[in-house]
Structure 1
Amino acid sequence: MAAVRAFEAAARTENFTAAAAELGMTQAAVSYQVKSLEERLGSPLFVRERGRARLTPLGARLLPALTGAFDAIEAAFASHQQEDESLLTITTTHTFANTWLAWRVGSFQMEHPDLAVRMTTSNELCDLRGGDADIAIRGGGGGWEGMEEYRLFESAFTPMASPECIAAVERKLGRPLEPGDLPGQNRINPSDDWWQQWFADNGVPADESILRRAGIRLENQANEGHAAMAGQGFALLTPLLWKGDVAAGRLCMLFPERVSVRGWSYWLVYPHERRMVPKVKRFREWLLAEMRLALDEIDGGWTAQGRVPAAAQMPAQS
């Protein structure tokens, strides 16, 4: 291919020196590549003249097809680059998309009307280098090899339910709910490790029969929150993600001061080599600013173990 490229440039300019300058090669390198192609074909492509390389009939016959082929290749790459620059693809979890990002990402697109935004949801690993997406937002401990990482917020959780559900239970009890009442109530995903941790953090005895009891089992927090809003029971939810529903009265935090921390965080992630791509840089700056506002609004950004760190200004070490 290098030899064909050298021939096409030399044939089009009819000058080995001009071809060398166009390709960033030496004149000797262009001459060597053309000679190797002539040897492979078994026929000369040029008649060398002083200051000019005149095509032989074979060379003249090959040139239009090769020039058209290289033009097509360049057009294909240019089309890809144009599409890549105009479309930002984000992959995130079902929960983060449905409870937080989908409510806000439109404002990012309106700030950047030249950029289309596509959001996909999945809890599976994705190949960012292979082109699955430009950016990923995932939960975990961080430390993904070769990735630029920005810690968005620590995953915390506390029991929530609809006001109607809470009122019905308290009528039966004849008093306000207490943490020790929850093992006997309808809990969404009752065998989830989060319940075990929350009970332990709050000194609530919970044996295996309580943790393994029958109940509604849903695959992600987004579904759990909507089931709780529908009055299906008590769910362990992340306050930051459900702030809007709490403010609107669709959900209530039973014990605002009793928030457990999961031990992992949500992260913005993309390959190191993509960090200065304009669309990635613009989304990163927008997301970190939005996250700082969200953390400041959620009760001052606190959890049971203290203030949640604001969204990172510098990438974490991976």
Structure 2
Amino acid sequence: MGRLPLTALQGFVLAARTGNLSSAARRLNLTVSALSHQIRSLEERLGRRVFMRGPRGVELTPHGAHLLELVGPQFEAIERALQQFCAPHADVLTLSVMASVASSWLLPRLPQFVARYPQLQINLQSSVQLVDFDREPVDAAMRFGRGDWKGVHAEHLFDDWLTPIASPGLIARLGRPTLAKLSDWPLLRDPENVWAKWFHTFGGTPPARYVAHFDDSETLHRAAIEGMGVALGRLTMARPLVDAGQLVLLSTHRLRAEYAHYLVYPPRSAEHPALQAFRAWLLDEARRYALAPEHAPAAEGRGRKTSKHGHA
């Protein structure tokens, strides 16, 4: 049957994991055309289609799903074995961060770290997906959650606070609402409907209906900027927008978010010199941020975890 198509199988496994040929090609340092050719060759060898191509990427066919079930674990075992022989570069740190946190909180502060440690290189990866440290060459991550991910160290950085925000244009049209009249305004609902907890904590009646529902914080804040309605904004994301004049804080009340911000890393990264330097700097920045006056308002308390072992 000729040579085994190991390169094509590797490309198939990566494309199956990501559902995207472009992402898989980048990780293999190939062009999308070259990877597509390899997968076509694999399909010709097998006599079966392994992917269905669509506008949003690729999806496994039943034959492809069966092939992934057979060969995927073998490539994962090889990757885990090779990781034991790949020592991290002491002066390079690969960090995964959600884009919203990177743009609103980390990037404005990162130049200070770079100036203090010019010999270190930081590779930032923006993703909302949890990192699988067993499979991905990532040293650490900044994540927003409960801090209970399994198999990793999760160190609490700071809590987040929620408060009503609106655009200057919306306030110019409708005036500035009082706390008692807030439910009369067009309100934007987040995935967990934290408005219900807000009204329960600070008084008032939830509205009969919301103007719109959103499944992520970044889109929610963008809708508030565009004047669609009032959102319960996360201060970490909202503060830069307020400072830029795009949003206005409508209340001095703050509600502690259910989730908090954490630095997460696997045991293999604990002694990584670049991470040790970044961790010390990050914890110091987080302490200063948490002690700022705007983060010590009266709000409903929520117990937080200071350190857990957990996956990010």
CA contact (8 A) 1:154 1:308 kept: no
Hey, what's the Cα distance between the residues in 2 that align with 1:191 and 1:122?
A: 19
Contact 2:188-2:229 at 8 Å conserved across structures? yes
Number of aligned residues: 228
Structure 1 residue aligned with 2:221: 225
Q: Call closer, same or farther: CA 1:91–1:128 in 2, change over 3 Å.
A: same
Contact 2:92 2:123 in 1 (8 A): yes
- The 3-state SS of whatever aligns with 2:159 is strand
1:111-160: CA deviations, max 9, x gaps? Answer: 22222212222222211233342111112211222322211112321111
After superposition, the C-alpha distances for 1:240-266 in whole angstroms (9 at most, x for unaligned) are 43323323433221111x211232211
Deviations 1:296-315 (A, max 9, x none): 22425345146998x96xx4
The percent of aligned pairs where both chains have the same amino acid is 26
In 1, Cα distance between equivalents of 2:296 and 2:244 = 19
For residue 252 of structure 1, the aligned residue among 248, 257, 274 is 248
User: What 5-or-longer segments of structure 1 have no aligned partner?
Assistant: 1-75, 171-175
Task: Give the one of 149, 153, 157 matched to 2:154.
Answer: 149
Tell me: CA distance 1:250–1:146, structure 2 relative to 1, closer, same or farther (3 Å): same
- Paired with 2:226 and 2:123, the residues of 1 have a C-alpha distance of 30
Query: What CA distance in whole angstroms lies between the structure 1 residues aligned with 2:302 and 2:197?
Result: 20
Secondary structure at the aligned position of 1:153 is classed as strand
Match of 1:301 in 2: 296
Q: In 2, distance between residues paired with 1:303 and 1:88?
A: 38
Letter in 2 for 1:197: K
Q: How does 1:151-190 map to 2 (within 5 A)?
A: 151-170=156-175, 176-189=176-189
Contact 1:240 / 1:298 at 8 angstroms: preserved in 2? no
Q: Which runs of 5+ in 2 are unaligned?
A: 1-81
> In the alignment, is the contact (CA less than 8 A) between 1:243 and 1:298 conserved in 2?
no
Q: Which has the higher helix share?
A: 1
CA distance in 1, matches of 2:205, 2:90: 55
Q: TM-score, normalised by structure 1?
A: 0.62
Amino acid of the structure 1 residue aligned with 2:224: A
1:271 maps to which residue?
266
Q: Flag the 1:245–1:151 CA change in 2: closer, same or farther, 3 A.
A: same
Q: Which amino acid aligns with 1:189?
A: R
In structure 1, distance between residues paired with 2:272 and 2:241: 35
Query: Alpha carbons of 1:120 and 1:189: their partners in 2 closer, same or farther (altered >3 Å)?
Result: farther
CA–CA separation in structure 2 for the residues paired with 1:300 and 1:139: 17
Amino acid at match of 2:231: A
User: Secondary structure of 2:90's partner?
Assistant: helix
Flag the 1:132–1:294 CA change in 2: closer, same or farther, 3 A. same
The amino acid of 1:109's aligned partner reads V
SS in 1 for 2:180: helix
Q: CA RMSD in A?
A: 3.0
Is 1:89 the counterpart of 2:70? The answer is no
Query: What SS is found at the alignment partner of 2:157?
Result: strand
2:152 and 2:133 map into 1 onto residues whose CA distance is 9
